[in-house]
Amino acid sequence: MLEAGIVLQNVSKIYRSHNGDRCTLEDINLSIRPGEYVGLMGMNGSGKSTLARLCNGLLLPTAGKVYVDGLDTSQAENLPAIRQRVGMVFQNPDNQLICPVVEEEIAFGLENLGLFLPEIRERTAWALEIMGLTGLNYHAPYLLSGGQKQKVALASVLAMKPAYLVLDEPAAMLDPVSRRELLQHLKILNRREGMTIVLCSNEAEDFMDADRLLVIDRGTLCLQGTPPEVLSQGEQLASIGLAQPDFYRLRQQLADAGCPVTAIYNLTDLVDYLCQP
């Protein structure tokens, strides 16, 4: 069992509470290959946050197994290695920053890894640069905007050089400009640094750069494919409470009116096509 990647085998997660057990995930089989950019789309409460937390052992499955590069998350001694491999970014920027200075925030994880000062300095500089935060070393995170806080959170995870980056609705509390910037960074990390990305969101527009898009509804994976394949299925998405991106809606309307545009996947191509004589 030494398959590279994050592998979920027949995973179920049941929460027990006083008014009965609630199944949040049911028999999930999924494997995320190194280098992939995977989107996970679902409504709030669909189970995507639970799934994200299974990937680095914050939660353990009730049944089934989760492996990260062959390491079983249910073995406590594997957790440090797993958490170094799987970096996590959460929704609320205020609640995941631990230190009062950006530089210390980034060093926090590195110190926990037992790295020495020169290495910490080097990685901090690298992480700040890649997130476009150079010069903010000594800033107090609580004085930054939401978008910048989220970038600091991402930088402090990146500095640990994880192979996998799992993000649970990282843009839900951001404004559209910061959201777009964050997505742009993810794309660069995936394409240029070869980082594996698992992005959870309820917003279809966020998945344009993903290689593979999974749709989760009430604890089961119900749709799977490339983003264009999945996002073209407007009716099915609507039936589970999700919205199609505007681009697909516009394209659909044009197609319905007899304009053959279904093989076009972005705005520039659409405009070019419409401008043909």
Residue from 10, 29, 112, 184 touching other proteins (CB under 8 A): that is: 112
Cα separation values, 48 from 180, 187, 221, 268, Å: 21, 21, 10, 32
Phi, psi (degrees; rounded to nearest 5) at 204: -60, -30
Least distance in angstroms from the C-beta of 3 to other proteins: 23
Half-sphere exposure of 254 (CA within 13 A, CB side): 16
User: For other proteins, which is the closer residue by CB, 188 or 208?
Assistant: 208
* Distance from C-alpha of 165 to C-alpha of 37, rounded to nearest angstrom: 10
Residue from 90, 128, 167, 221 touching other proteins (CB under 8 A): that is: 90
Does residue 145 interact with other proteins by CB under 8 A? yes
Residues 6 or more apart from 176 whose CB is under 8 A from it?
none
- Both tokens of residue 155? 């930088």
Phi, psi (degrees; rounded to nearest 5) at 107: -75, -20
Least distance in angstroms from the C-beta of 6 to other proteins: 14
User: For other proteins, which is the closer residue by CB, 1 or 95?
Assistant: 95
Residue from 7, 88, 216, 223 touching other proteins (CB under 8 A): that is: 88
Site for other proteins in 225-254 (CB under 8 A): 241-243, 245-247, 249-250, 253-254
Least distance in angstroms from the C-beta of 112 to other proteins: 4
Kindly write out the interface string for residues 35-64 of this chain, putting x where it contacts other proteins by CB under 8 A and - elsewhere. --------xxx-------x--x-x------
* Distance from C-alpha of 177 to C-alpha of 190, rounded to nearest angstrom: 20
Does residue 92 interact with other proteins by CB under 8 A? yes
> What does DSSP say about strands 6-17 and 63-68: parallel, antiparallel, or unpaired?
antiparallel
Residue whose token pair is 């935060």:
133
Residue from 63, 229, 267, 269 touching other proteins (CB under 8 A): that is: 267
Does residue 138 interact with other proteins by CB under 8 A? yes
Does residue 157 interact with other proteins by CB under 8 A? yes
- Both tokens of residue 123? 């990685």
